[in-house]
Amino acid sequence: MKAIRKLSSEGEFIAFVDIVGNAYPGFNIETEEQKKKFVENSMKVQEENPFVTFYGVFEEDNLLGGMRYHDFKMNLLSTKIKVGGVGLIGVDLLHKKEKVAKAIMTKFIEDYRSQGISMAILYPFNPEFYKKMGFGFGTSISQYRVKPSNLPKGKSKSNIKHIRGNDAKKLLDCYTRIYEKTNGLIEKYEREFQLLFNNQKMKVVGYKKNNEIKGYMVFEFKPSHDKNIFVNDIIVNQLLFEDQESLMELMTFLN
C-alpha cells in the first residue's frame, strides 16, 4: 500500500537525493559532498520557505519517489489567483513503470483542488505523460542565437550597472511592477533574487537610474567550442524591462 506524505527527516531527504540524482543526471548530484549540499539546501528551503514543500511516495519504510510543491500566485487577466506548482518529480529506478509517477501527480492535483485552486503548472519534460493527466501547453518558448554585433546599438549604456546582492529588493520592485501589468506572470519574492546571487555562474546587470532599477538581465557564459576555452556564448536566462530606454541600453551593452 503506497502512502504519500511530507518528507520530515534527514534520512528521508537523503533517500530522496539518490532518487533525484538518478532521475536528473544533468543536475550532477554524484559525490557525497554534492549530495550533502542538496540535502542541506532542500531541508533549509522547506523549513524557511512557506511556499515550498517536499513530498515522498512510501511503501512501508521504502521511498519510491518524490516531488516538490510550489504555492504560486499568478496575474491572470489582472486578477491575482493562487496556482499550484509541482517539480523535481522523481521515481526510484527499481520502481519505474509501477505507476508511482501517476500516484504523485494524482496526489498533487487532488491536494490543490481541495484548496479550491483551479490551475496547476509544471515543466512538461514528458509532454505525452502530462497530456494524459489533463495538462495542456502554455505559451511557446523560442530560443534565438544572435551575434552581439547584430543587436541594436544606442547612444548610451551609461545607466547599465552590475547588480549585487544588496540590490535584491530593487530587483524585486522592478519585477513586481512588470508582474502587476503582465498577464501570466508569476509573483516572486525577495528570497528568490537573493538566491540568484548565490549562483556564481550567473551575472546580473541592470538599468539603474535615480537609485531605481527599470530593467535587468541575468546571463551566464558557456563554452561554445570544446577545444577553445577563449570562445564562449552568452546565455541570457532573464531579460525584463519597463520601457524602451532601459531595453535599448541593455541591447547596447550586449552589442
Could you state, in order of their start, the residue ranges of all structural domains in the chain?
2-132, 148-254
- The pLDDT value given to residue 140: 83
Residue 184: predicted pLDDT:
92
Whole-number pLDDT of residue 139: 79
Pick the CATH number of 148-254 from 3.10.180.10, 3.50.50.60, 3.40.630.30, 3.40.50.2000: 3.40.630.30
Q: Cell numbers for 53, please give them.
A: 514543500
Percent of the chain whose pLDDT exceeds 90: 84
Architecture of domain 2-132: 3-Layer(aba) Sandwich (3.40)
pLDDT at 195: 87
HSE value, Cβ hemisphere, 13 Å, CA-based, for 55 = 23
Q: Is there a contact between 163 and 213 (Cβ–Cβ < 8 Å)?
A: yes
Enter the C-alpha cell of residue 65: 519517489
What is the structure's pLDDT at 81?
97
What pLDDT sits at residue 141?
83
pLDDT tens string 148-186: 999 999 999 999 999 999 999 999 999 999 999 999 999
Same fold across 2-132 and 148-254: yes
Distance of CA 116 to the CA centre of its chain: 24
Positions in the chain short of pLDDT 70? none
**pLDDT confidence of residue 176:** 97
Residue 226: its pLDDT value, please? 85
**Which is it for the CA torsion 199, 201, 206, 211, positive or negative?**
positive
